[in-house]
Amino acid sequence: MKGALAIAAMVRAGRVSAAALIEQAIADVSADSLHAVTRVLAARARGEAARVDAVVAAGGDPGPLAGVPYGVKDLFDVVGLPTTAGSAVYADALPAHADAEAIQRCQAAGAVLVATLNMDEFAYGFATINAHHGTTRNPHDPARLAGGSSGGSAAVVAAGLLSFSLGSDTNGSIRVPASLTGIHGLKPTHGALPMAGMFPFAESFDDPGPFAGSAADMAAVWAVLADAEMPVDDDAPIRLALLGGRFRENADPDQLTVIDGLASGAPMLELPDIERARSAAFLITAYEGGSLHRAALARSAMAFDPQVRDRLIAGALLPRALYKEAQAFRAAFRKRIAALMCDVDVLLAPATPCIAPPIDDPRIAIDGVLVVARAHLGIHTQPISLAALPSLSVPLRRPDRLPLGLQLIGRPGEEATLMRYAARLEADGVIGATAPMRARVGEAA
């Protein structure tokens, strides 16, 4: 499927109808073999496409995303449907009375919602291993994970089933699957994009964000969600730095080679207390997630995915004093990061420490020890979440290998700078999404 901007231009010019595009999208997601799709919204999509075509026929402009098919992670409210957050616990919940605000903004821009997408139950994991909807498979090698918790949202874009999608990111749930599937994924400045109508995981970390196949498409969808102007590159210098310490100890050589080449002569920064920062992120999210689900756990614990249930129970048992201590550390950590970045526009870091692990052995090596991927793929994203900084995962251009991404990390509110820099890297051939390879089970990076 073509990119979002290309489709919107054709629809607005009347060269193709939204209805025809959406029929193809419905057929594509209905044939999904990646366990990426949870519900196909055919009737809704046809209605939205008809409204777009009517505006075009009347000589109007349906918006910057006119007729573009997209999907949303299964924790966004979709009017008339229960919001399950990937769990059987809420399968029979009352239907949402309105769309999530992010969906409303996409619809106002002319985009057409086609499907809801698979996720780790309650967004608790980095793998999209779901007990009810299956494990989402990586389009580049279906024997490997797509990452999570927004794995379904990443997989449909990487596979070309939909032009863009929406996910949520708490500690890396957009950036991790974007890296493993070879597309762009944004964690915005915390609180910058609307959370209204989304099932939370840990509210002091959660943010919605888009997945897209190109820098331009990412910028367009971000502008719609943020109600902002499209970033325009003014050729102004962008001051770079690279992250050292733990960010170099668990990384692929390709990532480090590209980072070092881009940031030649730039300072190398070490985030203070990085291990404490990751521990604080784990603790805060566990406490907030456990608190959120305490009543449901007491009422129907056996309805939860066993792996998620045990982690939520552990979080619910954490003492509040420990949570407050972690929050105090978080506040101090943010101040120290702000001081480090006062003369830096973009920090460069790996997005994930490795390629996607195999589904039949979902472990990765951290410090030379094999650990569970579901909990540890976010080693490089969690500290950035703790700092509440915007972070854009971009795909390294390596068409002969499985995907890997870099994080472009900015100062709060500076998403446009990240978009401009990503566009430059794409133009220079450093980054760029590639079509999925044939499945190559067991291939090494």
Mean pLDDT of 263-272: 94
pLDDT of residue 445: 36
Model pLDDT, residue 437: 64
Q: Which helix (H) or strand (E) holds 241?
A: strand 240-243
CB 422 within 8 A of CB 218: yes
Confidence of residue 215 (pLDDT cuts 50, 70, 90): very high
**pLDDT score of 442 more than 80:** no
Mean pLDDT over 44-58 rounds to 98
The percent of residues in the chain predicted with pLDDT above 90, rounded, is: 95
Rounded mean pLDDT of 430-438? 85
> CATH class for domain 240-427?
alpha beta
- What is the Cα–Cα distance from 55 to 43, expressed in whole angstroms? 19
Distance from C-alpha of 248 to C-alpha of 254, rounded to nearest angstrom: 11
Q: What's the Cα-to-Cα distance from 143 to each of 11, 32, 353, rounded to whole Å?
A: 36, 15, 19
The residue-averaged pLDDT of 416-424 equals: 98
C-alpha 201/C-alpha 121 separation (Å) is 10
Q: In this prediction, what percent of the chain has a pLDDT beyond 70?
A: 98
CA distance 100 to 18: 23
Q: What is the dihedral of CA 321, 188, 337, 374, to 10 degrees?
A: 60
User: Which residues belong to the active site?
Assistant: 73, 149, 173
Evaluate if residue 399 carries a pLDDT over 90. Answer: no
Q: What is the mean pLDDT of residues 222-235?
A: 94
pLDDT at 197 exceeding the cut of 80 = yes
- Does the pLDDT at position 438 exceed 70? no
359-392 pLDDT, tens per residue? Answer: 999 999 999 999 999 999 999 999 999 999 999 9
Helix (H) or strand (E) holding 134: strand 134-135
Instruction: Kindly report the average pLDDT of the chain as a whole number.
Output: 96
- Read off the pLDDT of residues 155-174 as tens digits, 9 standing for 90 and up: 999 999 999 999 999 999 99
Strands 240-243 and 346-350, bridge-based pairing: parallel
Considering the chain, tell me which residue range(s) the CATH 3.90.1300.10 domain(s) occupy: 4-226, 240-427
pLDDT band at 405 (very low <50, low <70, confident <90, very high): very high
pLDDT of residue 326: 98
Q: Are 385 and 392 in contact (CB under 8 A)?
A: no
If you classify domain 4-226 with CATH, what class do you get?
A: alpha beta
pLDDT of residue 434: 87
406 secondary structure, DSSP code: E
68 pLDDT more than 50: yes
